[in-house]
Structure 1
Amino acid sequence: MKLTPQHRLFFAAILAAAVVAATVHLSLLAPVFDLVMTPHAQGGLVITRVTPGSLNARQVSQGGRLTRLGGIEMDGTLLIEEPDQLGTWESYNRFLDALGQLNAAVDHGVVSAEIDGEPVTLSARPRTIGDLPSMFWVQLAVGVLGFLIAAGVYAFRPRDRGAAHFAVTGLGLLLSATAATVYSTRELVMDGETVRLLSAVNWFGTLTFTAALVALLWEYPRTLGHRFPVPTIVYGTALLSWIGFVRQLFPDPGSVYLAILCLFSITFLFAWLQWRKTAAHPVERAALKWYLLSIYLGTGLFAAVILLPLALGTEPVASQGVMFVVFLLMFVGIALGITRYRLFDLDRWWLTAWIWFFGGLVVIGVDALLLWALGLTQGTSLALSLALVGWIYFPARQWLFSHLHRGGDERGRQIHRLIQELFSAEEVGQLAELWHKYLAREWDVLDLQIEPGSLSAPRIGNDAQTLAVPHLFGEQHLVLRHPHRGSRLFTRRDSEAATLLHQLARQALDGLSARHEAIEERRRIFGDLHDDVGSKLLSLLYRAKDPASGELARSALADLRDVVSQSDEGVLPLTDALADWRAEAQERLDDAGIVLQWEQTVATDLPVSTFRLRHTARILREALNNVIKHAGGTTVTVRIAETAGRLHLAIMDDGVGSDPETWREGRGMLNIRHRLNKLGGSVQWRRHAQAGCTLEVTVPLDQPLTPAGTPSR
């Protein structure tokens, strides 16, 4: 049967569960007196607390000094957390013998004692899970979590030697932490041979952890050499050292700390060699930085607070049990490095797989706890465990998933900005430049090059350090190297994102090409109108036999020239436009025999868009056409003023026009209203008291155009 990552995760969980069960079982073998004791300066142990409800509550009072128990002289060494801190093998063996005698003495539950010089009888009871202190569970959790993180890496990378060494570090931590938590959290008494065995397991785990750390730095992120079997030598040295300590061949039990420090010091040499070897490999260098930070943050603190003082023969700065927690910093840091820097070539799916796996374990664990603690039936406990998991675990898991993928909304906003930029490009070169800049910014790459050869789709290459993307045009493609400044590798998700971006860029390029074709077609049509229709209108103007026909031909020719020659883009000085309007109005009214009175109040040479000027000129032209055709007057007054960014235009005649309320709107009036709707302006016709009418027009010169007023291209 082929082993899958799920199988390996399951086996790792089973092993961890077995170690937890053994650890709890061994801890429960130690009897308890329900007393809290500390060493006394003059010998013996001071009782600092008697647990309420204790069997010994009547025989013992707080503050009493316990000097003998089961025929053994009491001293502070019997409360020591770690027996190898006693200094000599003689003290170490004497401590274990004393524990053995005490355990034998309380085997029947009652033991003679001497408190404050008075003989008393103390009763011991079996230990329960509720008696286990919080530090027991903390050390146990550190060992289990560290092991599962390391085993999880190996589960997905079983052929990677670096992952194998990392798994061994997790196993070493599991053995070391669980063994130490049994004897370091005892109340007072425990079988001496059990402590001897657990102390040896603790040494084995610590030496194995350190040796695996050295071997790991030899293999990862780049192998430092194949000529010498350095990992084998390191593991062999650790094994021989452990045998020497078990057989007590070293000068004292504290030498184990010196041996561990010597092994650990090799990591600095290998770290320096790895630093040199990854100089030309930014991905490995980024992974190494995070990797070393995780390792030395945890192990360095433990070495400085525990190992170094003990190797120098002084008291450690903090409790060894408490300092076990710093090891978890290393494993959690490496787990975070996997999701950020793809350590061991794993990605965020590694953490996702663990979360799903733990989901099943949580259901089983809660069910077992309810069966054991509350004595519920199997069906009731299963239902209740599913409810608790649904209310607590699954919402927490969903929050973690959303936290891991919170970059989705930002990616959407970035694509929206890209679309705006690409579809606003005016030239092909500008579009290509915008797209190249976006790709470099999106992945924060160290290098982006254009290389020959066409591609049909994005492709990841060179051990996921490069991403090749099809170019927008030509037999070329783009190569992006080292994403996020070389801190990670390209993934399938990056390839999918690049495919989407390339499709967007191609659509923008197609739209730009269609727009350029439309502009060229417009220019061709305008040229044909100017050459063909313009010449025919000019012939009609010269052949006109009456003023009305000539005026019609002249007006059509002016409109044609206006359409062909003027652009909707750019700006012109308002005074220049007014001069053209006045000249045209003067010519047309002179031909019709009408007097023009032009009144103009424009204080500044204001720049106005040609689009507004063109439509306003046509409004004036249409108004003069109506005066010439329908008013029957002799004088036209045109008043133009500009105030507060608005152009006010009034055309007044002295004709015999009727009330505008009775007019039937023709094409001329409709055209005027349509143009003013585009410009966001207003229009009003009114009749004079005596004779004639006035057309009043207001055109804003600075506000945005309405959607209908957006010039067509």
Structure 2
Amino acid sequence: MEHERWREIGRLSPASVMLLTLLFIVLTQAGAIYLLLHQPWTGLQIEPDPVSGFVRVMSVDAGSPAEGKIPPDTILTHIQLAGEAMPLISKHFLFPFMHKSRAEFQGYLQQQATIHAFLSSGQPVTFRDIGGNDTVVLPHKATSIKTIPTYFWIFLLVFSIVPLMGAFVWSYQARLNVSLYFFIASIACYGFNFVGVINFAKEFFFSFEMAEWLFVLELIGLNIYMPFVFNIMSSYPHRLLGLVGYIVFSIVFVFYSLNFYFAWFGGSLNYLLIQSVLPLLLTLLASQFQIVKSRQNPVDRTAVRVMQLSMIAPFLPIIILHIIPVALGQEPIISKNFVQLLGITSFVGLAIGILRFRLFEVEYWWFKSWLWLLGGCVVVLVDMLLIGLLNTPQLYALGLSVMLTGFLYFPLRQWLLGKLMPLENQSLQDFLPRFSAALAQADSPQAFEKSWQAILQARFTPQHLALQTATLTQPTLADNGLSLRIPALTDGTVYQLSGKHLAARLFSNADIKVAAALLDIARMARNASDAREQAVLEERERLLHDLQATVGAKLRALADDLPAAHDRQATEEALQALDSTVKLSLQADPFSLHGHLHAWHSEIAQRTAAAGVQLDWQVNHDLEEAELSPKQALELTQFLREAVSNALKHAHPVCVTIRFALEADRLQMSIGNDGDIQPPESWQAGTGLGGMRARIRALHGDLQVRHLVQQGYVRLDATFPLRIGVVS
């Protein structure tokens, strides 16, 4: 508890972190500007010339000591003072780490220090060009701020983004250790690249002591930057190594750097080649293990993939196009400036992965970037094979490699898109036939809802689909793309789809657009079906009312004119059946079975009592929550009336037994009597048995007639499916 309390006290606010980081940037940049302003100035803007191995004058500053004396595009080979000459060779401008050994770098550093001493002596110096011509220039002791190269200011601004990004991530995710690692790595990367910017902006060279100090700062930055990047990739989102593993990696990395500085052990391999390739390979290996461990979590997996790509995309070209050529003694294909700009882009991907910022948008871009990288690698590989093996001229080799790659790459790209990301590759138009076929089979609100759920399942193949109670009008993303929430066709409910493509992908904004388009079409189809159903219901209601008004009136008049009591009774029963038929047919909502049981009991009790017959009425208590659709209520009412009428008319029983029970979500109904029993096979047409069978079949049920001879009993057993609490 005490530790946590002090931790809370020592925690800085996000604004304080950003302010301190900005103060650090301003102070370091002010120091760099001060250093550059106190360097000798000739006005020559030079760059290494790969052809001659010396330096080329790119431009001459206006008003400088060299203006009008040395024209641009001149190749300078030497600088001399008081008879002592020093060569101006391109290797003087290499990264310190690009040299094979500390001794080699130290030799070049001594030459640079001598050249700096020439320029700082306050005496005229002589520049010799490749043609042997000498030009005398008197350098100024200080540099004007106006003559500092423009790219120096641009690079200062660009590189300042890295520590500010680190401060933002640390402030936003202060409780994550990986955000602190990211902040430390960003500061170290800024320091490493910042020293490089100072070296780029200088006109010639610094003093020996200053060059040594800058080299040490650069070495420290690199040895903090790379181990902490490895730490990030091997600890987020899953910890792959223990503390001992990180310490061992850092010790090995730092030891190799210290060996380069102190030259304890000799070696012929380029320092930066070893210190870049091996850590990058280990970092990528760690990221691959992270992807495997995140297989069941699409958000973690996508975050790791973005971070992995952020390491490969910049550093693979840097190693292939700059470090390896320099290590082999060749001219690099891309410049040091471009190398530094590429290197800092990795922090953008790392920040996105740690913050998990809009990963649902990044995932598809990640896959397209891999395809782009694959295409570029194939072009380079084919080009190198044509030049190296077939001795094809470079221009023709490049054209052939692009053409051959085009024939292979684009079909392969489409095939990979279809295999690895089938849902993204399937357009809405391709899915519409399946969508239309599913909706065309729906003929009720429940069927439409079931079809809509099946459509979502087919389109997105989620790992989990749940129906939730909520109010939502349009599809939205949830959990950083892990889930997609889509309104159901029934108001007040929402489908939550989790784990797109069986948890292989994240949902994206493109999925929102697809779901919204499908939802609009489904709603239109549902509304059209509702309108058609409403029109049918209105017409049926009109016909039933007309039937009741005409036929009912005639039956009432007929009942009043009939002389025989049993004929009037039959007419009254017909009127009662007509009224209940009209009433039940106009009802759309479900009925309570419990309420109908009371109504049936009351009606049948009156009829049996009038006939002098005992009624044995049995109802199981588990039918309390059961519901009947209007169709079921109508058919059962008519079935019971016909069964009781037949028993009273033909059997003349002493007792009628009626029993209701629920077994396996099916309604079991038995109607028996102990009257004058005849075998069912001898029953004549007109007893109503065929009509009763038809009514039970209409309810997807079954009717059995059982003649219990020994008990002197006949019984009708009917059963049909019944769902509890749901409209059937």
Which of the five TM-score ranges fits, normalised by the shorter chain? 0.5 to 0.7
Deviation by residue 1:28-85 (Cα, 9 ceiling, x = unmatched): 3322201245679999867675444322346656567644147653213474242343
Partners of 1:103 and 1:481 lie apart in 2 by: 66
- 1:524-539 alignment runs, 5 A limit: 524-533=541-550
Structure 1 residue 481 and structure 2 residue 491: aligned? no
Q: Partners of 1:463 and 1:44 in 2: how far apart?
A: 55
Residue in 1 that maps onto 2:88? 76
1:261 aligns with 2:258: no
For 1:468 and 1:50, the matched residues in 2 are separated by: 64
Matched-pair contact (CA < 8 Å) for 1:13–1:148 = yes
1:237 lines up with 2:248 in the alignment: no
- In structure 2, the CA distance between the partners of 1:46 and 1:445, relative to structure 1 (3 Å rule), is closer
Write out aligned runs for 1:470-549 (5 A): 478-483=495-500, 520=537, 523-533=540-550
1:53 counterpart residue number:
63
How far is 1:139 from its partner? 4.1
- Report deviation, 1:483: 4.8
- Post-superposition CA distance 1:84-122 (Å, at most 9, x none): 434443342233334334444444644443645868452
From the superposition, tell whether residues 75 and 64 of structure 1 become closer, same or farther in structure 2 (CA, over 3 Å): closer
Structure 2, unmatched stretches of 5+, are 1-8, 363-434, 558-581, 583-728
- Once the 2 structures are TM-superposed, how far is the Cα of residue 182 of structure 1 from its aligned partner? 0.8
Contact 2:284-2:308 at 8 Å conserved across structures:
no
Which residue matches 1:429?
Answer: 446
Where 1:74 maps in the other structure, the secondary structure is: strand
Partner secondary structure for residue 211 of structure 1:
helix
Residue identity matched to 2:336: Q
| Other structure's SS at 2:143 match | coil
TM-aligned CA deviation for residue 7 of structure 1 = 3.8
Partner residue of 1:143 out of 150, 159, 167? 159
Q: Distance in 1 between matches of 2:236 and 2:46?
A: 48
Deviation at 1:193, TM superposition (A): 1.6
Match for residue 179 of structure 1?
195
Distance 1:347 1:286, change over 3 A: closer
Structure 1 residue 243, shift from structure 2 partner: 3.6
TM-superposed CA distance for 1:311, in Å, is 4.6
Aligned to 1:20: 29
Whichever residue aligns with residue 97 of structure 1, its letter is Q
29, 32, 36: which is aligned to 2:38?
29
Contact 2:166 2:182 (8 Å CA) reproduced:
yes
Change (3 A) 1:489 1:331: same
Q: Does 1:159 align with 2:175?
A: yes
The yes-or-no answer on 1:95 pairing with 2:108 is yes
Letter in 1 for 2:498: R
Q: Which runs of 4+ in 1 moved over 6 A?
A: 38-46, 348-351, 421-425, 457-464, 467-477, 487-492, 501-518, 537-540
Deviations 1:356-399 (A, max 9, x none): xxxxxxxxxxxxxxxxxxxxxxxxxxxxxxxxxxxxxxxxxxxx
What do you get for the CA RMSD once the two structures are aligned?
A: 5.2
Letter in 2 for 1:290: V
**Which residue identity does 2:499 align to in structure 1?**
H
- Give percent identity, aligned residues only: 19
Q: Does 1:9 align with 2:8?
A: no
Compute the TM-score of the two structures, normalised by the length of structure 2.
0.52
Q: Is the 8 A contact 1:48 1:63 kept in 2?
A: no
Taking the TM superposition and a 5 Å limit, the aligned residue runs for 1:338-357 are: 338=352, 343-347=354-358
Per the alignment, do residues 503 and 91 of structure 1 end up closer, same or farther by CA in structure 2, a change over 3 Å counting? closer
CA distance in 1, matches of 2:504, 2:83: 65
For 1:324, what is the secondary structure of its paired residue?
helix
Secondary structure of the corresponding residue to residue 123 of structure 1: coil
Q: Say which of 311, 335, 339 aligns to 1:295.
A: 311
Tell me whether 463-472 or 476-485 shows the greater mean CA deviation: 463-472
Aligned to 2:382: none
Using the alignment, how far apart are the partners of 1:91 and 1:455 within structure 2?
73
Aligned equivalent of 1:661: none
Change in 2 beyond 3 A, CA 1:350/1:436: closer
Q: What's 1:208 paired with?
A: 224
C-alpha contact (below 8 Å) 2:22/2:164 kept by paired residues: yes
| 8 A Cα contact 1:258 1:307, kept in partner | no
User: Per-residue deviation at 1:509?
Assistant: 8.9
Q: What secondary structure does 1:68 align onto?
A: strand
In structure 1, distance between residues paired with 2:133 and 2:346: 50
Q: Deviations over 1:261-297 (max 9, x none)?
A: 3222212322332232233333333333332222101
| Structure 2 match to 1:622 | none
Deviation at 1:194, TM superposition (A): 1.6
Q: CA contact under 8 A between 2:41 and 2:203: conserved in structure 1?
A: yes
Count matched residues: 464
Residues in 2 aligned to 1:498 and 1:9: alpha-carbon distance in whole angstroms: 41
User: Residues 312, 44 of structure 1: CA spacing in aligned structure 2 closer, same or farther, 3 A cutoff?
Assistant: closer
Assess, with a 3 A threshold, how the Cα gap between structure 1 residues 446 and 182 changes in structure 2: closer, same or farther.
Answer: same
